[in-house]
Structure 1
Amino acid sequence: MSSPPDVSVVIPTRNRPELAVRAVQSALGQTHRDLEVIVVIDGPDPSSETALADVTDDRLRVIVLASSGKAPNARNQGVNNARGRWVALLDDDDEWLPAKLETQLALAATSKLASPIVATRMISRTPRADSVMPRRLPEPDEPLSEYLTVRRGLFYGDGFIQTSTIMAPTALLRRVPFTVGLRRQQELDWTLRALQHEDVELLYAPEALVLWHQDENRERISLQNPWEEQLEWLRANRELFTPRAYAAFTMSVLSSMAAPTRSTKVFREILTEAREHGRPGAIDYVTYLQIWALPPSVRHRLRDVVLGRKTADA
């Protein structure tokens, strides 16, 4: 067997062969060449197997799971099969720019801790516009749960982390696996749990090195609204958040999932959760009210205006 690569790229996929091949090609096209790409097909999927078989690069490995366990389980299975010291995660509907891994490895080498999580900025592409996320990087000594959740604007957040931006030591991803069964906020859950360990820090490359395709005309996990499941997860993980972060997440992310119910009972329940177990700020109350008062399509258009987004064609 050849010597282990520096990086193992893990891509979970199911029934999206064209997207999976696009993601694989962006990983194989990295300027850092010492890598392997592990595609984990989440259950029987002959179309994806056939499409990936046409990729003629011996750095590609394909694992087919016997049954579907969803993306967190597929990621964990890929990590367990990784040979590299580092694992870089890539969702099948995203792409990397060529210098992503080279940039992250250079940044990881500057860490004083044994297990740095290295993320990057990304280009968020919707049918309406492109924008760079996160809008800012963490400030010195800023609690990371607050960086990732507390808003400074009514229609957007500043801090952000997304799965396809994450590179971390393989040993860390085995020590802290993804939570199987969690449908939303998988990367936030994993990042905050990993940061509980003393040898872990979060580093950001300032460059936007990932293209996050937010196609709104196809099924995506981030378009699902399992607010009751998310509230259960939030309550079980209060220790991961400062009171300020807990209130901010409850009144922005969680309320965005719950608002389509148009239920006054749910409105009161979520507000009570934030007030009793968190410390809301003035912007959280205004955010909460506009989320419940305005349809998502209106909020999205207003956000684009506020951020001054340029369309992808501009």
Structure 2
Amino acid sequence: MPSTPEVSVVIPTRFRPELVTRAVRGVLAQTVTDLEVIVVIDGPAEDTHAALKLIDDKRLRIVGLPERGGAPNARNLGAQAARAPWVAFLDDDDEWLPAKLEVQLRLAGECAAPLPVVATRLINRTPRADSVMPRRLPEPGEPLSEYLTLRRGLFYGDGFIQTSTIMAPARLMSEVPFTVGLRRQQELDWTLRAVRHPGVELRYASEPLVVWHQDENRERISLANPWEQQLEWLRDSRELFTPRAYAAFTMSVLSSMAAPTRSREVFRELLAEARGHGRPGPLDYVTFLQIWALPPNLRHTLRDRVLGRRR
């Protein structure tokens, strides 16, 4: 292994040895070979340790934590252990296409900003269909909070960022870590805080270079619905959003988490939150009503039929 690799790849994992070994092998197959892979095992997990030890590659490092601290904490600890000037993140259930890091390093080298953050499009893979997200890239001068939250149609994904697509300077990760304890929207929270840091510029690769596996038959954090915690986070983070973005997030993302409650009180609370502290547009109201009116499975099926190509 080189004394100073070009990229450190951080993969947090827990109790998913088959998935994390697939993720590691995908990183080791990158066209960029000057890298290290830091797998942070989030708490005791003998099966995961045993599976990773079968991968014979000196670029792989395993960091085992004595107790569970959550994915944001594991990412932060992995970034702290990184020896490279660049840190890229990969969730254990996702995969990278072979040229992912090569494209990102090239884009970072072309950026005049001292602290470029480079993301990519991804292939959103559900049991029914594949679709590419984000469907569009940021426009010049567009507020990032609006790009990441406003919809131009009834389905999410117009603007989007996901953890497995992010590569950032190690220096930035030491100054702007992930928020420990936040269960959902970890990448949105980090990105909106990171771009406020002096010298940071967000760039996107135009091609999809990550496969985001949306397996719906297994436990995933992104399928949990801690809407009360998310509302608390949103209120505490109001300065990160424009009024338009605040309303859009409340009436789409937050409502998607809360709608399974079928509670009229929650419906009214979120509508009042969006109107009281944000500035909803007509499409926000349509989105809000269809989220509360349609069962999640039906909405997901409609989304895949409209946006995806059948698998």
TM-score bracket, shorter-length normalisation: over 0.9
- Inter-CA distance 212–157: structure 2 relative to 1 (3 Å threshold): closer
Stretch of structure 1 that moved more, 207-216 or 148-157 = 148-157
Separation (CA, whole Å) in 2 of partners of 1:182 and 1:20:
22
Task: Give the TM-score normalised by the residue count of structure 1.
Answer: 0.98
Q: How does 1:9-88 map to 2 (within 5 A)?
A: 9-88=9-88
Does residue 143 of the first structure (1) align with residue 174 of the second (2)? no
Q: How does 1:214-233 map to 2 (within 5 A)?
A: 214-233=214-233
Letter paired with 1:152? R
C-alpha displacement of 1:93? 0.3
Q: 2:160: which partner in 1?
A: 160
Give deviations 1:277-302, integer Å, cap 9, x for gaps: 00000000000000000001111122
Separation (CA, whole Å) in 1 of partners of 2:155 and 2:294:
11
CA RMSD of aligned residues (A): 0.9
Q: 1:239: which partner in 2?
A: 239
Identity %, equivalent residues: 73
Letter paired with 1:124? N
Give deviations 1:209-245, integer Å, cap 9, x for gaps: 0011110000001100000000000000000000000
C-alpha displacement of 1:2? 4.3
Q: 2:293: which partner in 1?
A: 293
3-state SS of paired residue (1:274): helix
Separation (CA, whole Å) in 2 of partners of 1:56 and 1:198:
41
Q: How does 1:128-277 map to 2 (within 5 A)?
A: 128-277=128-277
3-state SS of paired residue (2:113): coil
Letter paired with 2:283? I
C-alpha displacement of 1:306? 2.4
Contact 2:129 2:305 in 1 (8 A): no
Extract structure 1 runs of 4+ deviating beyond 3 A. none
Task: Give the TM-score normalised by the residue count of structure 2.
Answer: 0.99
Q: 1:310: which partner in 2?
A: 309
C-alpha displacement of 1:305? 2.8
Separation (CA, whole Å) in 2 of partners of 1:31 and 1:154:
38
Separation (CA, whole Å) in 2 of partners of 1:91 and 1:302:
27
Give deviations 1:69-106, integer Å, cap 9, x for gaps: 01000000000000000000000000000000000000
Q: 1:113: which partner in 2?
A: 113
Give deviations 1:14-49, integer Å, cap 9, x for gaps: 000010000000001000100000000001100000
C-alpha displacement of 1:155? 2.3
Separation (CA, whole Å) in 2 of partners of 1:19 and 1:157:
25
Give deviations 1:123-177, integer Å, cap 9, x for gaps: 0100010000100100111101000000000123300000000000011011000
Separation (CA, whole Å) in 2 of partners of 1:89 and 1:70:
15
Letter paired with 1:310? R
In structure 1, runs of 5+ residues without a counterpart are none
Letter paired with 1:213? H
Contact 2:133 2:157 in 1 (8 A): no
Count of residue pairs brought into register by the alignment = 311
Q: 1:93: which partner in 2?
A: 93
